[in-house]
A and B are shown apart, each in its own frame.
Chain A
């Protein structure tokens, strides 16, 4: 029987007051320090609790089985270079050289390089940019920002090559640039392991190499521009904990072993690992493919009639899951007629539209608009080699970005953005 005592009432009021004050402080702190540090603080806190153990059996078992701890412990979390503080609204607007779409890149003021000739103005610097996927909106946007940055400097020539998701081909491209004695190389590796040896060969030939977003296995690499995978997964967990206390989940994940999957999914599980009400009903690897995510979600909907949460490690997966849920007319089929909570990453314009329409519940932005940081970093490395400037740090963290929700929320000190407030979405516009 529920007893309402004076002591309980005072305790309750005190708790609410402390919670409200904490929230207020954290929000104020978030504004003062920037969301990057606030999210890093939460990452540290949840990671520590998860290391002490997970009370949720279903979550703990998956976390253990897929060895997330190894990946999470190796993934760097830290401060931004030169004490940079990112605020919403920063960045430059331009038309993407490849996509021909208008882009607002958030980090153009990070590791800045003024427009005009770089380093020795009499020399022309040749930089190779190799990545995979001129057929993928996220990756085209990545190439857009790299080409834009290079075009700002008249004595920089850039060659952009698509290795078409063939790691061996990417290695061959790098080897060719080594033979052509390029001044610098920037790469977006799909997988870590196979790209270490070609990067090492380039470094041994005296060519600075910078990776963007994903990592390589090279220990010699000049710099790594790292994404904010940890903050992505963390915020999916924070949002879920905020809106739901229990429910069955279906996971659409990327390639097992990929950084995106291991860090995002691992961070998500760390946050919900001590919430006992969640249960993982389905766990699929849909490898960034919308069709596979559609299929797996459709299968899960057939198999289970009480799904409350669709967790997706990427925007493509989230769109596939949403398509399947809509086709099955199951958007509001969670227990008690509630809506299935759909969690996403990657702030594509079409995902933001679904958030504005109330179909996808939240997205952790993972911007592809970071190619410019890679180009600036490699130019600075070339300059350091020539004794013209200091080298940038080896680990270049990109600022953590706040999650986007339909309406403004403050979750554990993180102030969410609404789709209307977010100018950095990538990809073609959707009506």
Chain B
């Protein structure tokens, strides 16, 4: 059973460097970097690498949440809509709290200048709650995850329009500048945040009983249920985690744009799925490694960035993404057969 891949940490440690060397995604990333260095004097510039890592942070956060759900054999199509909605609700609710406290946290018509702490907490709670709601629908009401999250996607987009009346909120303040532009040892804060969160999530999946049960559900849900595990609550938890990651992604995303509005990030759920698949996550569930997904996020962003550096039109970029995805899925299947 594939669960062993995620649970046999000692085996991973034993193989050490050899295991890392055998990671195809790592080689792909290195190849892209070498190719970039050879073909453009700008590719390995600090500014470009920082741009690349900032993009990887956003798609990596969405893909991490998506992976957790995919591991259970389900899918979350609402991640991008949730990402935008959680930030919009955070602005609306924080502004309302500000008004109740007699503080003016919406200035110049639609610029948010409220408490970042309250804003972040509400955003994370909203994202998690939306995720949990999806999970309840899927686990307890037995709605197919595709349908449940597709409905959420549509509803959240509609609610986002209602909450904003179609207009943008501008996000001003030191917190958004920090999250968007700050560097730690030359690395963007948003990417450091991704790495830290992946570290925690990986530890949760590979070193806790709850994490292992998510793999078990994805591997064989009926057997897991018959072994006395209440699968429903773990399914809800996986969707809640996906919502949490989406909300963090929303903070990173909107900090970079210094604004949020309902129409943003359309179709980003597909990018999240693509990266998870590139990272070797099986759509059928039961297997997946967050480190590989993280590497895939960097590889995906590095590849797109290289194409942009070369001046390749976006429709060829889309074609390249499709070709790489097909290749990745084929290689994964071949690998599993072997």
Which A residues are within 8 Å of any B CB, using their own CB? 66, 70, 134, 159-169, 171-173, 175-176, 178-181, 191-194, 196-197, 217, 255-257, 285
Cβ A159 vs Cβ B311 within 8 A: yes
15 contacting pairs across A/B (C-beta < 8 A): A70-B109, A134-B315, A162-B315, A166-B265, A168-B58, A168-B257, A172-B51, A180-B40, A191-B168, A193-B168, A193-B170, A197-B258, A256-B161, A256-B166, A257-B167
Cβ A164 vs Cβ B314 within 8 A: yes
Most buried by A among B58, B161, B253, B261: B261
If A165-B266, A168-B253 are given as contacts, then 13 extra A-B residue pairs at C-beta distance below 8 Å, sorted by A number, are A159-B311, A166-B267, A168-B58, A168-B265, A171-B256, A172-B51, A176-B305, A194-B168, A196-B258, A197-B257, A256-B165, A257-B261, A285-B166
Contacts of B314 in A (CB 8 A): 161-164, 169
Which of B17-25, B42-50, B200-208, B321-329 is the interface stretch?
A: B42-50
Task: Determine whether B197 belongs to the interface, using a CB cutoff of 8 Å to chain A.
Answer: no
Cβ B259 vs Cβ A172 within 8 A: no
Cβ B165 vs Cβ A255 within 8 A: no
Contacts of A160 in B (CB 8 A): 313
Task: Determine whether B180 belongs to the interface, using a CB cutoff of 8 Å to chain A.
Answer: yes
How distant is the Cα of A159 from the Cα of B51 in the complex, in angstroms?
19
Contacts of A70 in B (CB 8 A): 109
Cβ A193 vs Cβ B253 within 8 A: no
Task: Determine whether B55 belongs to the interface, using a CB cutoff of 8 Å to chain A.
Answer: yes
Contacts of A256 in B (CB 8 A): 161, 165-167
Most buried by A among B42, B257, B305: B257
A-B contact count (CB 8 A): 90
List the A residue with the shortest CB-CB distance to B109.
A70
- From 258 to 290 in chain B, residues with beta carbon under 8 angstroms from any chain A beta carbon are 258-259, 261, 263-267
Contacts of A194 in B (CB 8 A): 168, 257-259, 261, 264
Task: Determine whether B192 belongs to the interface, using a CB cutoff of 8 Å to chain A.
Answer: no
How distant is the Cα of A175 from the Cα of B48 in the complex, in angstroms?
8
CB < 8 Å neighbour of B257 from A66, A167, A176, A257: A167
Cβ B261 vs Cβ A191 within 8 A: yes
How distant is the Cα of A178 from the Cα of B51 in the complex, in angstroms?
10
Cβ B42 vs Cβ A180 within 8 A: yes
CB < 8 Å neighbour of A193 from B58, B261, B267: B261
Task: Determine whether B309 belongs to the interface, using a CB cutoff of 8 Å to chain A.
Answer: yes
Contacts of A255 in B (CB 8 A): 166, 263
List the A residue with the shortest CB-CB distance to B254.
A194
Closest chain-A Cβ to B285's Cβ sits at a distance in Å of: 30
Cβ A168 vs Cβ B264 within 8 A: yes
Contacts of B264 in A (CB 8 A): 167-168, 194
Contacts of A168 in B (CB 8 A): 58, 253, 256-257, 264-265
Closest chain-B Cβ to A321's Cβ sits at a distance in Å of: 21
| Shortest 3 CB-CB contacts between residues of A and residues of B | A256-B166, A193-B168, A193-B259
Contacts of A162 in B (CB 8 A): 313-315
Cβ B47 vs Cβ A179 within 8 A: yes
List the A residue with the shortest CB-CB distance to B312.
A161
How distant is the Cα of A412 from the Cα of B165 in the complex, in angstroms?
35
Task: Determine whether B308 belongs to the interface, using a CB cutoff of 8 Å to chain A.
Answer: yes
Cβ B261 vs Cβ A181 within 8 A: no
How distant is the Cα of A320 from the Cα of B267 in the complex, in angstroms?
25
List the B residue with the shortest CB-CB distance to A74.
B109
Cβ A193 vs Cβ B257 within 8 A: yes
CB < 8 Å neighbour of A171 from B40, B47, B257, B309: B257
Contacts of A217 in B (CB 8 A): 170, 258-259
Contacts of B109 in A (CB 8 A): 70
Closest chain-B Cβ to A166's Cβ sits at a distance in Å of: 7
List the B residue with the shortest CB-CB distance to A130.
B314
How distant is the Cα of A192 from the Cα of B259 in the complex, in angstroms?
10
Cβ B263 vs Cβ A191 within 8 A: yes
Given contacts A168-B256, A178-B47, A257-B167, contact A197 B315 (CB under 8 A): no
Contacts of B266 in A (CB 8 A): 165-166
Contacts of B164 in A (CB 8 A): 257
Cβ B265 vs Cβ A161 within 8 A: no
Closest chain-A Cβ to B249's Cβ sits at a distance in Å of: 11
- From 288 to 338 in chain B, residues with beta carbon under 8 angstroms from any chain A beta carbon are 305, 308-309, 311, 313-315
